[in-house]
Amino acid sequence: MGIEEKVPEGILTTSLDSVVNWGRANSTWPLLFGLACCAMEMIATGTARHDIARYGSELFRASPRQADLMIVSGRVSNKMAPVIKRIYDQMLAPKWVIAMGICASAGGPFNNYAIIQGVDKIIPVDVYVPGCPPRPESLLYAMDMLRAKQRRETIGAGRKVEEPLAVDEIMPLGV
């Protein structure tokens, strides 16, 4: 229908946003960056049984310049906070952050002098994953939610998400 009837066979039309988001959502490269216990589950997510490669995210990059996604996997200490902030700043936009586990989300059991109560105090977070540590399946679900978010972004001015999303809207349970 429409313009596609006029052009030669094999050509599809779509919006630029959809194409770019399709690419971003299906090859989100995480940063090779482990902090604490959750990092072990992050590695488990990358290995054969859970196989994060199914989602195009198996390429953990050690350089922040090549990474799209920072998975903050563990507790963030006061000494580590400036380092995380700097690594995040070094990542190229567009970039996303998953706070993996309760420590990265809100400090977890370590409500004390050493630990920052949530990595969202120093960098913006896209998806929070509960658990101590979250199972690999939880992390994969979080990546699903992130993909849903990525698909709704625009390469236009400000890269703003149109409206706040309800959880059901992003990923209805049972889908």
As measured in angstroms, the least distance from the Cβ of 26 to another protein is 21
Rounded to the nearest 5 degrees, what angle is found at the Cα of 25, between the Cα atoms of 19 and 28?
125
Q: Is 123 in the site for another protein (CB under 8 A)?
A: yes
Sort 91 into a burial class: Cβ within 10 Å, 0-12 / 13-18 / 19+.
buried
Q: How many Å apart are CA 61 and CA 63, to the nearest integer?
A: 5
Interface residue with another protein among 2, 112, 157, 174 (CB under 8 A) is 112
As measured in angstroms, the least distance from the Cβ of 25 to another protein is 25
Q: Is 84 in the site for another protein (CB under 8 A)?
A: yes
As measured in angstroms, the least distance from the Cβ of 50 to another protein is 9
- 3-state DSSP of 2-38: HHHHCCCCCCCCCCHHHHHHHHHHHCCCEECCECCHH
Q: Please, are residues 119 and 76 in contact by the beta-carbon 8 Å criterion?
A: yes
- Total residues contacting another protein (rule CB under 8 A)? 47
Q: Is 59 in the site for another protein (CB under 8 A)?
A: no
Contact residues: another protein, CB under 8 A = 32-37, 39-41, 43-44, 47-49, 62, 64, 74-75, 77-87, 107, 109-115, 117-118, 120-124, 132-133, 135
